[in-house]
């Protein structure tokens, strides 16, 4: 058993729902107790979908357990087929149904439905949402593409690719697919199938007709890409085009595999973000301490953008999905910062409190943490909230995505002259963090009272007062450094001098 | 899978009820934790369940609760099921870990879930063991909020029913006291308390209490009023202790609230004159506040999907006080006795349905083309996209709607979607 306050990932059947909901023409019959239908609202409310997810739940109750839940499943499955007439079906069990072992796959087979049925075996007590979506896509592709053959290509035909990984409820998948589609068009590469987002079961059977695959979201697409590689000898592009540099690398990789000229891609909608980053105002971004956490793909990509395109210092990098821990550790090592692989919200919170970054790039969970710790935050990864599904076009990938990243990461920061003035005139009664934002007329909630300084060292009143003059967004770090320094030097009471000694010590 | 049956009701006139069994688009009882953990300020709710349970609770409210929640999930893993680990030992460790983090907790609810029920994990034994281990400063109680046994608000019923045995036994010959049963927002509780005081009722307690150890004594001299209609099991437990229920409509709207208060006033022998003097100002305020919404709601047709068991009471309020025409009242469960005074007031033309087959109900709803549909979050946007105006039902449970001074707000919740439609031109 594991004590959990908030979870980063749902159960694996929610991953399966993300695939089913992304597609056209499939229907998922889920053997599940009453209550599991809550998952519908993830799609209808958070993502504002205007249709119910294509899922029928058996919603069995205690009284059904004494009778025949298998019969209930068969009735629901038959009824769902007749009502929705899907092109293909998926069947499976949620965590409770897994325990009663009714075998939805076998039961559905016995019904002899006139459409292909994919049985999903998603172990709820071992695996989680991302794994569930990857496995579901893989099983669907196996069902529908196993019998396909890769047709011969006419000489001189335009290169053709599949895009793998985008799902329903994905963080900006909707817009990434459009942005990357435009980029590929500029390169003269045709898109054969995008899956699962927007694909029908028939489309899945056409996956082998492409020359290569692009894995945009490895959390969902990698398993399928490997199978397609092995079965149909389709190579895969694996660079994630998040940020200007990675987008250029992506173009180079696509151009090499597709044997096309990369130039039209590089020229396509050339990003403003390099100039925004080089222009003098961005000097203030230099060395801003940032903590990054999310799904492995977005976190690793964000770390590169943060360090190489924004000039931030990445002080911590982590991911909640253990399946990609190796990639995260490698990226953290390269940046010389610690890696955190954890799905424990409380551990992430402790890490952020310890590191005292100036900016957190994370999921909606880190937004909670950052709000509580009064640290600036931008969301870069699922799980996300209704406000992370904006009305406007807002990709994360490609050159336009790089522009979006620049704006959304910089806006929460204290920048430029404001930063200087805060540091220079700490005693101004309406211009300090304790007064609340001045543009809100001093009526906004003021900063919380400093947590009492604890630990083995004490602060003299003068030193405590001096500490208060340090802007709030670096104060926590200064306090911690000074205490560490004092402990190290055996100083029992921190004086003003100690504060500045520590500052000079750590600035070396 | 639906049957029309005739209910043998004494109080209500016998009327047909459409009973349905099929896919139920409803929450499970765990969802009640979202409000209960705020109501009882020193209690903590530990769900013993799966990742699905944890995901449900954080998704149920549509948004996450920003303050540190007083609930968590002990997520069962493969080894708990395979018998490699003794689930009880694991649970003890999780509880110890939790108490280390939250030493301020005075009452811990171990909340059973579908998987814990199916593997027959005995949480009542675990609760006794943990009470002995961590007591007397901590009391551990268990109830089930599983979807196989409870629908949405029935989770509160199960929780309160489990709390009844914790009440001290009333001294013999104690003076009569009134118990108001069902979680209410603090502000509503305070309003009711002032009204009962005005009526000269000396001792009024609310259940659940705001602090875990403030449970009032319950016994033969307790009269109780349900503030929420979904408390059937709690009612049984209270009656088994000798307490007597005062039958009344529920306190929604000016008339519902007046009738509810009247039931208590009558039991205490308050004169008609005194009663009217005390409640008139509130009732008048409520009438005026409700009246403002009549021009939007009057004559409009409304359709309820089942959600909280509040549906028949709300339907009564909307038809009696706002002149709405109720096409169908869906309720997950119809407690005939408790709902008697409400059913009496519903038009014979209104279809009452119990349980659900969501696709069939959607067919009926589309065929009826009501002006307003009250439904859960999973159905609201899809129905809006089909051109129907909707009111998400969860807001009726998550906002203060009881009593005179909330009657206008309650009407407003139904009026707002229609007003918005009139305003928005895109």
Instruction: For chain A, give the mean pLDDT.
Output: 91
What span, in angstroms and rounded, lies between the C-alpha atoms of A319 and A296?
5
A65 touches chain B (CB under 8 A): yes
Chain A contact set for B380 (CB, 8 A): 44-45
Give strand pairing partners of B151: B28
Tell me if B107 sits within 8 A of B138, measured CB to CB.
yes
Is the pLDDT assigned to residue A49 strictly greater than 70? yes
Are residues B285 and B404 in contact, defined by beta-carbon separation less than 8 angstroms? yes
For residue A455, the model assigns a pLDDT of 60
B242 Rama class: left (phi>0) / alpha (psi -120 to 50) / beta: left
What pLDDT, on a 0 to 100 scale, did the predictor assign at position A420?
A: 64
Residue A86 has pLDDT above 70, yes or no: yes
Please list every residue in chain B whose beta carbon sits closer than 8 Å to the beta carbon of residue A75: 1
Cα A115–Cα B379–Cα B391 angle in degrees, nearest 5: 170
Q: Note whether A368 contacts B146, CB cutoff 8 Å.
A: no
CA dist A119 and A104 (Å) reads 7
For A354-377, what is each residue's pLDDT tens digit?
A: 999 999 999 999 998 998 888 999
Q: Which residues of chain B, if any, have pLDDT below 50?
A: 1-12
Q: Do A385 and B64 touch (CB under 8 A)?
A: yes
C-alpha distance across the termini of chain B, in Å: 41
Query: pLDDT tens digit string along A267-302?
Result: 887 789 999 999 998 988 999 999 999 999 999 999
Q: Residue B106 and residue A158: Cα distance in Å, rounded?
A: 70
Q: Are A44 and B379 inside 8 Å of each other by CB?
A: yes
**Which residues in chain B have their CB less than 8 angstroms from residue A33's CB?**
28, 114, 146-148
CA–CA dist B273, B255 (Å, integer): 17
CB atoms within 10 A of CB A437: 13
List the structure tokens of A376. 């600036």
Which tokens hold the place of B366? Answer: 């589309």
At A437 the pLDDT is: 46
Q: Which residues lie closer than 8 Å to B85 by C-beta, 6 or more apart? A: A1, B79
Reported as a pLDDT band with limits 50, 70 and 90, residue A475 is confident
Measured in angstroms, the CA of A83 and the nearest CA of chain B are apart by 9
pLDDT of residue A66: 76
pLDDT in tens, A343-352: 998 899 999 9
Confidence of residue A506 (pLDDT cuts 50, 70, 90): confident
Residues of B in contact with A34 (CB under 8 A): 24, 26, 28, 147-148, 151
Chain A interface includes B149 (CB < 8 A):
yes
Tell me the chain A residues in contact with residue B373 when contact means C-beta distances shorter than 8 Å.
none
B52–A36: do the CB atoms touch at under 8 Å?
A: yes
Is A281 assigned a catalytic role?
yes
The Cα–Cα gap between B337 and B12 comes to 8
Residue B222 has φ and ψ, to the nearest 5°, of -90, 130
Supply the pLDDT for residue A5: 85
Per-window interface: A 235-264 vs B, CB < 8 A: none
Using CB atoms, pick whichever of A11, A50, A62 lies closest to residue B55: A11
What is the model's pLDDT at position A164?
Answer: 98
For chain B, say whether A349 makes contact (Cβ under 8 Å): no
CB B208 within 8 A of CB B40: yes
The verdict on a CB contact (< 8 Å) between B382 and A49 is yes
**pLDDT at residue B300, as a whole number:** 98
pLDDT of residue A442: 42
Q: What is the mean pLDDT of residues A204-226?
A: 98
Q: Put the strands of the sheet holding A190-195 in their side by side order.
A: A190-195, A160-164, A212-215, A236-237
pLDDT per position as a tens digit, A14-33: 999 999 999 999 999 999 99
Work out how many CB contacts closer than 8 A connect A with B.
Answer: 189
Q: How far is A127 from chain B (nearest CA, A)?
A: 9
CA dist list (Å): B405 to A1, A289, B191, B204, B274: 46, 51, 8, 20, 20
CA separation (Å) from A189 to A210, A250, A273, A401?
11, 13, 25, 20
**How many other C-beta atoms are found inside a 10 Å radius of the C-beta of residue A323?**
18
Tell me the backbone φ, ψ of residue A263, rounded to 5 degrees: -55, -50
Residue of A45, A126, A364 with shortest CB distance to B78: A126
d(CA B89, CA B94): 9
Q: Is the pLDDT confidence value at A443 over 80?
A: no
**Does the CB of A115 have a partner CB in chain B at under 8 Å?**
no
State the average pLDDT over residues A167-189.
97
CA distance A127 to A223: 15
Residues of B in contact with A49 (CB under 8 A): 381-382
Closest residue in chain B to residue A83, using alpha carbons only: B359
Q: Which two tokens stand for residue B11?
A: 């109080």
Nearest chain A residue to B145 by CA distance is A35
Q: What residues have CB less than 8 Å from A375, skipping those under 6 apart?
A: A352, A356, A357, A358, A359, A360, A473
Q: Which phi and psi (to 5°) does residue A195 adopt?
A: -145, 145
pLDDT tens by residue, A114-168: 999 999 999 999 999 999 999 999 999 999 999 999 988 888 899 999 999 999 9
Chain A residues whose CB is inside 8 A of the B119 CB are 99
Contact A355, A313 (CB under 8 A): no
From CA A255, how far away is CA A264, in angstroms rounded?
Answer: 10
Identity of the residue in A48, A52, A125 whose CB atom sits nearest the CB atom of B77 = A125
Among chain A residues, CA nearest to B97: A3
Mean pLDDT of A236-251: 97
- Residue A40 in this model has a pLDDT that exceeds 60: yes
- Whether residue B91 and residue A1 make contact (CB cut-off 8 A), yes or no, is yes
CA distance A10 to B42: 28
Identify the closest residue of chain B to A39 by CA–CA distance: B56
- For B381, the closest of A37, A49, A95 (CB atoms) is A49
Question: B147 and A34: CB-CB below 8 Å?
Answer: yes
Residues of A with Cβ-Cβ distance to B60 under 8 angstroms: 38
Q: Looking at the complex, does the CB of residue B51 fall below 8 Å from at least one CB of chain A?
A: yes
A111: helix, coil or strand? helix
In the predicted structure, residue A413 carries a pLDDT above the cut 90: no
* Confidence at A476, pLDDT banded by 50, 70, 90: confident
A386·B63 Cβ contact <8 A: yes
**A461, β-bridge pairs:** none
Q: Is A48 on the interface with B (CB under 8 A)?
A: yes
CB proximity A85 to B under 8 Å: no
Q: Are A35 and B78 within 8 A, CB to CB?
A: no
Which residue has better confidence, A439 or A54? A54
pLDDT > 70: percent of chain A: 91
Distance CA A172, CA A401 (A): 10
Pick the residue from chain B with its C-alpha nearest to A123.
B78
pLDDT confidence of residue A346: 86
Give the integer Cα–Cα distance in Å for A236 and A222: 9
Instruction: Compare all CA atoms of chain A with the CA of B53 and give the residue at the minimum distance.
Output: A36
- Chain A residues whose CB is inside 8 A of the B382 CB are 44, 49-52
Distance CA A498, CA A459 (A): 10
A99·B75 Cβ contact <8 A: no
Active site residue: A68, A121, A261, A281, which one?
A: A281
Find the angle CA(A212)-CA(A216)-CA(A221) to the nearest 5 degrees: 75
Among A71, A477, A57, A256, residue whose Cα is nearest residue B22: A57
CB contact under 8 A, A50 and B148: no
CA distance B216 to chain A (A): 31
* Predicted confidence (pLDDT) at residue A431 exceeds the cutoff of 80: no
Q: What is the dihedral of CA B300, B306, B309, B311, to 10 degrees?
A: 0
Q: Nearest CB to B114: which of A2, A33, A40? A: A33
Q: Which residues of chain A have a CB within 8 Å of the CB of B117?
A: 62
- A91, A118 contact by CB (below 8 A): yes
């Amino acid at each position: 058993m594991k004590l959990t306050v908030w979870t980063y990932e749902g159960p694996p059947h929610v991953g399966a729902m993300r695939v089913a909901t992304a597609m056209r023409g499939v229907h998922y019959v889920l053997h599940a107790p009453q209550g599991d239908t809550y998952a519908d609202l993830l799609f209808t409310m958070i993502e504002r979908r205007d249709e119910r997810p294509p899922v029928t739940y058996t919603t069995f109750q205690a009284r059904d357990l004494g009778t025949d839940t298998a019969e209930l499943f068969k009735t629901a499955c038959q009824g769902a087929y007749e009502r929705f007439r899907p092109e293909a079906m998926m069947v499976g069990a949620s965590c409770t149904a897994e325990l009663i072992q009714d075998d939805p796959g076998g039961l559905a087979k016995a019904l002899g439905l006139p459409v292909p049925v994919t049985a999903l075996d998603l172990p709820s007590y071992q695996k989680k949402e991302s794994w569930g979506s990857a496995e579901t896509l893989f099983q669907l592709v196996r069902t529908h593409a196993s019998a396909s053959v890769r047709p011969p290509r006419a000489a001189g035909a335009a290169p053709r690719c599949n895009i793998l990984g985008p799902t329903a409820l994905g963080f900006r998948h909707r817009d990434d697919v459009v942005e990357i589609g435009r980029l590929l068009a500029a390169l003269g590469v045709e898109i054969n199938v995008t899956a699962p987002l927007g694909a029908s079961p028939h489309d899945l059977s056409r996956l082998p007709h492409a020359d290569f695959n692009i894995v945009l979201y490895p959390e969902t697409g990698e398993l399928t890409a490997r199978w397609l590689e092995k079965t149909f000898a389709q190579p895969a592009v694996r660079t994630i085009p998040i940020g200007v540099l990675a987008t250029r690398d992506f173009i180079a990789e696509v151009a090499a595999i597709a044997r096309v000229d990369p130039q039209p891609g590089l020229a396509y909608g050339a990003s403003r973000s390099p100039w925004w980053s080089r222009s003098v105002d961005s000097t203030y971004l230099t060395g801003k301490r940032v903590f990054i956490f999310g799904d492995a793909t977005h976190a690793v990509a964000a770390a590169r953008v943060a360090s190489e395109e924004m000039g931030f210092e990445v002080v911590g990098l982590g991911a909640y999905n253990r399946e990609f821990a190796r990639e995260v550790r490698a990226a953290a090592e390269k940046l010389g910062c610690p890696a955190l692989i954890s799905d424990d919200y409380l551990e992430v919170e402790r890490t952020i409190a310890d590191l005292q970054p100036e900016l957190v790039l994370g999921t909606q969970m880190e937004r909670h943490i950052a709000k509580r710790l009064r640290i600036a935050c931008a969301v870069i990864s699922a799980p996300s909230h209704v406000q992370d599904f904006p009305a406007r076009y807002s990709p994360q990938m490609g050159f336009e995505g790089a522009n979006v990243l620049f704006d959304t990461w910089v806006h929460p920061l204290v920048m430029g002259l404001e930063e200087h003035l805060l540091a220079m005139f700490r005693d101004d009664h309406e211009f300090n963090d304790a007064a609340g934002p001045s543009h809100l007329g001093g009526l906004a909630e003021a900063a919380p009272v400093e947590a009492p300084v604890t630990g083995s060292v004490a602060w003299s009143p003068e030193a405590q007062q001096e500490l208060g003059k340090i802007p709030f967004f670096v104060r926590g770090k200064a306090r911690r450094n000074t205490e560490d320094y004092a402990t190290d030097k055996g100083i029992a009471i921190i004086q003003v001098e100690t504060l500045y000694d520590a500052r000079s010590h750590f600035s070396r | 899978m639906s049957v029309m049956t005739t209910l043998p009701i004494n109080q209500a006139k016998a009327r047909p009820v459409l009973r349905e069994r099929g896919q139920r688009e409803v929450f499970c009882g765990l969802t009640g934790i979202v409000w209960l953990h705020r109501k009882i300020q020193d209690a903590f709710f530990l769900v013993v369940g799966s990742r699905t349970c944890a995901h449900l609770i954080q998704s149920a409210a549509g948004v996450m609760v920003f303050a540190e929640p007083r609930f968590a999930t002990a997520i069962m893993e493969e080894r708990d099921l395979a018998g490699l680990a003794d689930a009880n030992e694991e649970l003890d460790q999780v509880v110890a870990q939790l108490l280390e983090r939250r030493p301020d907790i005075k009452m811990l609810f171990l909340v059973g879930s579908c998987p814990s029920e199916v593997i027959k994990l005995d949480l009542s034994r675990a609760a006794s063991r943990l009470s002995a281990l961590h007591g007397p400063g901590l009391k551990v109680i268990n109830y089930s909020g599983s979807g196989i046994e409870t629908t949405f608000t029935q989770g509160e019923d199960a929780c309160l029913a489990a709390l009844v045995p914790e009440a001290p036994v009333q001294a013999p010959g104690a003076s009569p006291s009134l118990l108001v049963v069902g979680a209410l927002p603090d502000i509503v509780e305070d309003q009711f308390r002032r009204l009962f005081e005005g009526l000269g009722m000396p001792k009024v307690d609310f259940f659940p209490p705001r602090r875990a150890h403030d449970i009032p004594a319950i016994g033969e001299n307790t009269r109780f009023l349900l503030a929420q209609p979904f408390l059937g099991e709690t009612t049984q437990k209270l009656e088994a202790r000798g307490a007597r229920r005062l039958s009344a409509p529920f306190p929604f709207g000016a008339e519902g609230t007046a009738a509810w208060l009247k039931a208590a006033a009558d039991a205490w022998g308050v004169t008609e004159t005194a009663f009217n003097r005390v409640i008139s100002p509130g009732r008048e305020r409520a009438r005026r506040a409700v009246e403002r919404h009549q021009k939007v709601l009057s004559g409009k047709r409304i359709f309820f999907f089942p959600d909280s068991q509040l549906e028949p009471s709300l339907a009564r309020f909307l038809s009696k006080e706002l002149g709405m025409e109720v096409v169908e009242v869906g309720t997950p469960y119809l407690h005939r006795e408790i709902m008697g005074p409400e059913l009496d007031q519903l038009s014979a033309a209104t279809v009452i349905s119990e349980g659900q087959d969501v696709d069939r109900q959607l067919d009926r709803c589309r065929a009826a083309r009501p002006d307003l549909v009250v439904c859960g979050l999973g159905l609201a946007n899809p129905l809006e996209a089909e051109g129907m105006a909707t009111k998400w039902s969860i807001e009726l449970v998550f906002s203060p709607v009881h009593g005179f001074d909330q009657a206008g707000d309650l009407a407003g919740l139904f009026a707002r979607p229609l007003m918005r439609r009139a305003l928005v031109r895109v």
